[in-house]
Amino acid sequence: MLAEQVGGLLGAPLVVDDGWREMAFGELDGRPFTQQDYPWPLLNAFSRDPAHTELPGGERLADFQHRVIHAWAQIATSQADKVLIVTHGGVIRLILAHLLGVDWRNPHWYQRLTIENASLTHISLFTDSDGESYPTVKSIALPLRLRDEQTKQNW
């Protein structure tokens, strides 16, 4: 698990929080795109209108958005100085939409913003003396480069 590896390299404890899980795609989870009977019409409908297309056994986009923004609010109101969150592209897109004022229901947000695996999105959060928070998106989806000096392995 990447979170364990990165946490170990940084000497940070691992805390698992289900709020940061990727969206549950129900019956589509784990199905290879190359499968002969893959339900392309359903996936195409979801791609065109993710906010109103329900995936069998999956999570509604509105429920996913609510869960992720709740997890973000918990971090944003905590007293932690530095937090590293290892999560998924869909989660990152929803956080960015929230912070940048982008409509998270817009399918273009998911189609045109690529968040690569093992990339780094940096968000800085300044909280003033009145408790008001001011987030700044410093970078989006930069390649993650870490090196374990003991094993000489690059990440």
Can you read off the two tokens belonging to residue 143? 């390649």
Range with the poorest average pLDDT among 36-40, 59-63, 92-96: 36-40
Q: What structural domains does the chain harbor?
A: 2-23+60-154 (3.40.50.1240), 25-58 (no CATH)
Per-residue b or e along 35-64, where b marks 16 or more CB atoms closer than 10 Å to that residue's CB: eeeeeeeebeebeeebeebebeebbbbeeb
pLDDT tens track for 127-145:
889 988 899 999 999 998 7
Q: Quick one: average pLDDT of 114-135?
A: 92
Predicted TM-score (pTM) of this structure:
0.88
